[in-house]
Structure 1
Amino acid sequence: MFSLVVQMEVRPERREEFLAGMTANAEASVRDEPGCLRFDVSAVTADPNRFFLYELYTDAAAFEAHKASPHFARWRTVAEQVLVGQVNTPGELLATHASEEFA
């Protein structure tokens, strides 16, 4: 499985716009893309303008399909306005564990 960790820094005055745009993108990705298995958005406790995403796809082709989706294009329009910076770290899921309550 293809995994992606994304670190983002958001302009303080655009935080709410970021959250709305990213939430819409994450929801549409899981709902509309069969190859998108997970899309988590996490805030950094010590810095309200920093976020981490964890995305999981069946394979790299599914991630490429994600980048070609209409909701990703809408997100990129928002991102141009709200982001200070972004670092993407692609990887491969080797193991996963979750409690029954969470799964």
Structure 2
Amino acid sequence: MIALTVSLQVVPGCRDDFLAAIEKNAERSFHDEPGCRSFDVVCDLNDDHHFVFHEIYDDEAAVEAHRSAPHFAVWREAAAKYVVPGSQVNTLSRRLFHHS
């Protein structure tokens, strides 16, 4: 399994629009992409404009399929409006352990 972790800061005043956009992207990713196993969006307790996405995919091909999906293009347009430029950090890693 491949984990994609995304950390970013939202432009002040754009939080609600950002949340609507990422909720739709997360939902479509999970429901429309067979290789997407989970897509969590979390907000920092101390900064309500700082978010982290934790996404789990079957493999790197599933991550590439995610980035090619139509809903991802819509998300990227929204991110261009609502994410502070230069604040987004993406990290790909291999999931070693999982407990739920």
| TM-score, normalized by the shorter chain, greater than 0.5 | yes
Counterpart residue number, 2:69: 69
Task: Report the aligned-residue RMSD.
Answer: 0.5
Residue 91 of structure 1 corresponds to: 93
Structure 2: how far apart are the matches of 1:44 and 1:91? 21
Q: SS state of the match for residue 88, structure 2?
A: strand
Provide, for residues 10-31 of structure 1, a one-character-per-residue CA deviation record: whole Å limited to 9, x for no partner: 0011111110000000000000
Question: Amino acid of the residue matched to residue 26 of structure 1?
Answer: A
- In structure 2, the residue corresponding to 1:5 is in which secondary structure? strand
2 CA distance for matches of 1:45 and 1:65? 32
Q: Deviations over 1:36-84 (max 9, x none)?
A: 0000000001001000000000000000000000000000000000000
Q: Residue 70 of structure 2 aligns to which amino acid in structure 1? A: P
Q: 1:60 aligns to what?
A: 60
Instruction: Determine the structure 2 residue equivalent to 1:16.
Output: 16
Moved over 6 A (4+): none
1:32 and 1:21 map into 2 onto residues whose CA distance is 16
TM-score by length of 1: 0.94
Q: In the comparison of the two structures, how many residue pairs are matched?
A: 98
Question: In structure 2, what is the Cα distance between the partners aligned to 1:2 and 1:33?
Answer: 14
Gaps of 5+ in 1: 99-103
Identity score, percent: 46
